[in-house]
Structure 1
C-alpha cells in the first residue's frame, strides 16, 4: 500500500496488532492487511456498553480472526465503573482502557505497532471538535498517520471510499447502534454539522486532508523555532533546572504562541503563562506551579525547576552520632574532643561547640522571617537577604537545609555558613560535626 510506504508506517517484516471492533473500517483494514500478506494479529475490546450487541461484536471479530487465520486477543471492561472511579466521561474511559490494553498486548506478544482504522472523516471530525473546544496547531492537524507505536494506515481513505470498497468486495461487518445517536459531541458533528458543510464543499474530506498536511508542517516549523529559542535562552543550572533570561522572553514575537511552545511541555497552561507575563514588571519572588514544575520570577531572570516533593519539612537529630537523608542529600553527625580536632574550612561541613547545643536539633526548610548571625558578623541577618547576597536562585532555596538548635536559633545554613555564636573557640572542649554529602 503506497500510503504505508509514503509515511514509513512499518516495515513489511514487522508484526502489526490490529485494533478491530467489528465495524466497517476496522474489518476492511483486516482484509486489506490479509490481502497484502502482512504479518498481523487482531485485538478486540468489549466495553460492556451495549449488552448482547457487544457480545455479538466480540464473536464476529473472533470468527474474522479464525477466517483469516491470525492470532486473536480479546478483553472485557467494566467501562462505566472505570469512568465513575476516575471521574471521566465514558468515551474517555473507553479510550484509556483500550489504548492501555492494546499496548500491553503489543509488548507482551512481540508486535511492533498498533494499527487503528481511522480515516479522513475521523480526521475532519477531530479537527472540527478541537476547533469548537479551543486548540493549538497540534489540534488543527488532527490525527497523524504515525505517533509512537500507533499507526493509522487508512487515513488516505474517506468514509465514502470505504463504502465503495466494501460493496465491491461484498464484505460483512457489525453496525454499532450508538453511531446513530447524536447525544455524543463527535456524533453530532458527524450527523448534523458535516452534512451542512458538504453542501458548501462536496470535496470536504480532501480539503481537510490538505489542511491537515499544512498544519502538520506549520507545527514542524514552530517546534523548530521553539527549540532554537530554548537553546538560546534556557541555561541549564542543574538536573531539570533552568535559568531563563527575562529580557529574552519579553522580546519573543509572537509572544503568546512562543511562550506556550516553550513552557507547555512542562505542564504550564495558557492562563498560567498569561499570569506570568502580567507579573513581569512586579516584585520578584512570585512562583507559578504546573504541579510538576515551578516557575520563579527572580529579578532579571525566570527560574524553571522540577518540584522537589521528596524534601521533608522537619527531620530531627536526636544524638551526636547519626546518619540521615533530607532533600535528596545525606547528612552525618559526630562528636570529637577538641584535643583531637582539626578545623576544616569547607562549606559542606558545620563544626560547632557541642556545649552550646540543645538536642534534638532540627533540619528543615527555610521560612519567611528566618534570621541568623553569619560567621564573622556582629549582627543578625535575614535569610532572605543572605540568599540574595549569595546569589542563590529562588528555585533552590527549598533545597537548602537549615539546621536549627533546640532553643530555636539557626546554627547552620547547610553548604554555606554557620552561626557566629556557635563557632569553635579556645574554650570549646568538644566539637559537634555535621556534614552534608551530595
Structure 2
C-alpha cells in the first residue's frame, strides 16, 4: 500500500502546493521518480510527465525514454521529452558532464512549466539525497546555507519525497510491485555522490543506523539557524547599508565594528556574489589606502575614503558611441544625451548641460569612458590638467571614474567630462555664431 496520507501530510506541512495547482513531474524512470509519479496519480493531482534524454548511456538512454513514455501513456498523462548533446554542451562551457546535465534539465523543465501552464516542478529527491548533499557541501567547504541540504521548496521547484529515505522507497517499490528502470551509472564510483553513497555512508550507518533521521533533524536545526542569521543580517543591513544612484555604500567603521566580522560581512555581501576569500581580502584591506577594488562575477567593491562602495558591473570600459553630424540623441550605458543646435547664444549654468561653439566641432564625435592619459583644460583655466587628477580634486569615487562618459571631438580633444566640467577651448566666445547644446539625462 502506498503511504498516501504521509505524502499528503508532508505536502500540506511544507505548503508545497495546493490541490488546484498543476504539477510537472521530472521522471527519469528510476525508483524514486516512478514512485513519486504513482503517489501523485493516486491522490488525483493534475500532473504532466517530463523526461530528459541526455544521450550518455547509448541504448540504455533510449530504453529509459521508452519506459517513461509508455508509463505516462498508460496513465493517460501528458508526456514531454527532450534530447541533449550533454557532452558537447559540457565541453563548450568547460563544465563537468554532471553540471551540464543539471543546467540543461532545469532550464528545460522551466521552459515546459511556463509554456504548458504548470505551477510547479516536482523532483524526486529523498532523505538520503539530502544527507549526501550536506556531506558534499562539508567536504567542498560551505557556509551555513550549505548545511540545510535540499530544501522541500525553492521558487517553482518542490520535493515531495523528502519524508522518505532510500530504504523506505525500495520497500514500497517491492511491496507494490512497481516497475522501474535501473540507471547503470548509479553503480559507478566515478561520481562524488555515488562514492559517498557506496563507500562512505554505509560506514556512517554502521555507527548510527538511524543516520537519515538524525541528518533530517540536524537539517531542520541548521535551517532554523540560517533563518535566525538571515533575520539578524537583514536588520544590520537596514542599519548600515545605504543605497544611492551609483551603488550601495557601507561605512568602513561599521564594517570594522561587526562581530563576528567575517561571517556578517560575508552574509551582507552575498547578494552581490562575493565569495569567502574575497571577503577576507576586503577585511584585510580596510586600513589600507583607498582605491583598492574587489570583484565578483556581477559586482565591483571599492574601498573609498569612508565607505565600501558596491556597484554593478554593467559596462565595458572601452565601450564607445560614435556621434554623427545629424544625431539629435544618443546613449552610453545608463547615460542618455540630447543635442540641439541653435543660433540663440544663451547660456545656462547647469552641470548637466554644455554650450559649445558649433564651428569648432569635428564630426563624428566620440562618447567613451575615461582612459589613462586623458587630459583637458577645465573651464576657466588656461593649462591642461589630467582627468585623473581632476577626479581626485573633485573627490570622485573610484568606481564612478571608469563609468563617467567623456565627450571627444573628432580631433581627439576632450570636450566634456559629462555631468562635471566642460573644456575651456570649447566655450562660447564673441565670435560664436552657432551653439551646440549637449544635455545629459540620467535614466
Deviations 1:106-145 (A, max 9, x none): 2222211111111111110111111111111121111011
**Equivalent residue, structure 2, for 1:278:** 284
The reply to whether residue 213 of structure 1 matches residue 220 of structure 2 is yes
The reply to whether residue 32 of structure 1 matches residue 29 of structure 2 is no
TM-score normalised over the length of structure 2? 0.90
Tell me the secondary structure at the aligned position of residue 309 of structure 1. Answer: coil
Q: Distance between the aligned counterparts of 1:270 and 1:328, measured in 2?
A: 31
Q: Distance between the aligned counterparts of 2:395 and 2:149, measured in 1?
A: 46
Q: Contact (CA 8 Å) 1:362, 1:404: kept in 2 or not?
A: yes
Note the residue ranges of structure 1 that are not aligned, 5 or more in a row: none
Q: Contact (CA 8 Å) 1:320, 1:333: kept in 2 or not?
A: no
Aligned with 1:264 (options 259, 266, 270):
270
Q: Distance between the aligned counterparts of 2:282 and 2:21, measured in 1?
A: 48
Tell me the secondary structure at the aligned position of residue 348 of structure 2. Answer: coil
Distance 1:403 1:203, change over 3 A: same
**Equivalent residue, structure 2, for 1:155:** 162
Q: Distance between the aligned counterparts of 2:266 and 2:422, measured in 1?
A: 43
Q: Distance between the aligned counterparts of 1:181 and 1:321, measured in 2?
A: 64
The equivalences for 1:60-71 within 5 A come to 60-71=67-78
- 421-430 or 104-113, which moves further after superposition? 421-430
Q: Contact (CA 8 Å) 1:9, 1:151: kept in 2 or not?
A: yes
1:212 shift after superposition? 0.7
Aligned with 1:402 (options 399, 406, 418):
406
**Equivalent residue, structure 2, for 1:88:** 95
Aligned with 2:208 (options 201, 213, 225):
201
Note the residue ranges of structure 2 that are not aligned, 5 or more in a row: 1-7
Q: Distance between the aligned counterparts of 2:201 and 2:326, measured in 1?
A: 76
- 363-372 or 165-174, which moves further after superposition? 363-372
The reply to whether residue 47 of structure 1 matches residue 54 of structure 2 is yes
**Equivalent residue, structure 1, for 2:3:** none
Deviations 1:236-294 (A, max 9, x none): 1116x212211111211111211221222212111222222222222211222223211
The equivalences for 1:1-400 within 5 A come to 1-238=8-245, 241-309=247-315, 313-317=319-323, 319=325, 322-337=328-343, 340-354=344-358, 361-377=365-381, 380-400=384-404
Tell me the secondary structure at the aligned position of residue 214 of structure 1. Answer: helix
1:167 shift after superposition? 2.6
- 11-20 or 204-213, which moves further after superposition? 11-20
Tell me the secondary structure at the aligned position of residue 324 of structure 1. Answer: strand
Q: Distance between the aligned counterparts of 2:358 and 2:67, measured in 1?
A: 80
1:356 shift after superposition? 5.4
Q: Contact (CA 8 Å) 1:363, 1:402: kept in 2 or not?
A: yes
Tell me the secondary structure at the aligned position of residue 236 of structure 2. Answer: helix
Q: Distance between the aligned counterparts of 1:248 and 1:11, measured in 2?
A: 45
TM-score normalised over the length of structure 1? 0.91
Deviations 1:152-210 (A, max 9, x none): 11101111111222232222221222212212111110011000011111110000001
Q: Distance between the aligned counterparts of 1:256 and 1:57, measured in 2?
A: 48
Q: Contact (CA 8 Å) 2:315, 2:403: kept in 1 or not?
A: no
Tell me the secondary structure at the aligned position of residue 150 of structure 2. Answer: coil
Distance 1:412 1:186, change over 3 A: same
1:379 shift after superposition? 5.0
Distance 1:158 1:419, change over 3 A: same
1:410 shift after superposition? 3.3
Q: Contact (CA 8 Å) 1:312, 1:327: kept in 2 or not?
A: no
1:322 shift after superposition? 4.9
1:324 shift after superposition? 2.8
Distance 1:313 1:101, change over 3 A: closer
Q: Contact (CA 8 Å) 2:262, 2:283: kept in 1 or not?
A: no
Paired residue total: 435
- 89-98 or 325-334, which moves further after superposition? 325-334
Q: Distance between the aligned counterparts of 1:121 and 1:268, measured in 2?
A: 31
Q: Contact (CA 8 Å) 1:311, 1:328: kept in 2 or not?
A: no
- 164-173 or 408-417, which moves further after superposition? 408-417
Deviations 1:286-321 (A, max 9, x none): 222223211111111111111232675444555487
Q: Distance between the aligned counterparts of 1:104 and 1:196, measured in 2?
A: 41
Q: Contact (CA 8 Å) 2:378, 2:421: kept in 1 or not?
A: yes
- 350-359 or 209-218, which moves further after superposition? 350-359
Q: Distance between the aligned counterparts of 1:168 and 1:360, measured in 2?
A: 79
Q: Contact (CA 8 Å) 2:362, 2:410: kept in 1 or not?
A: yes
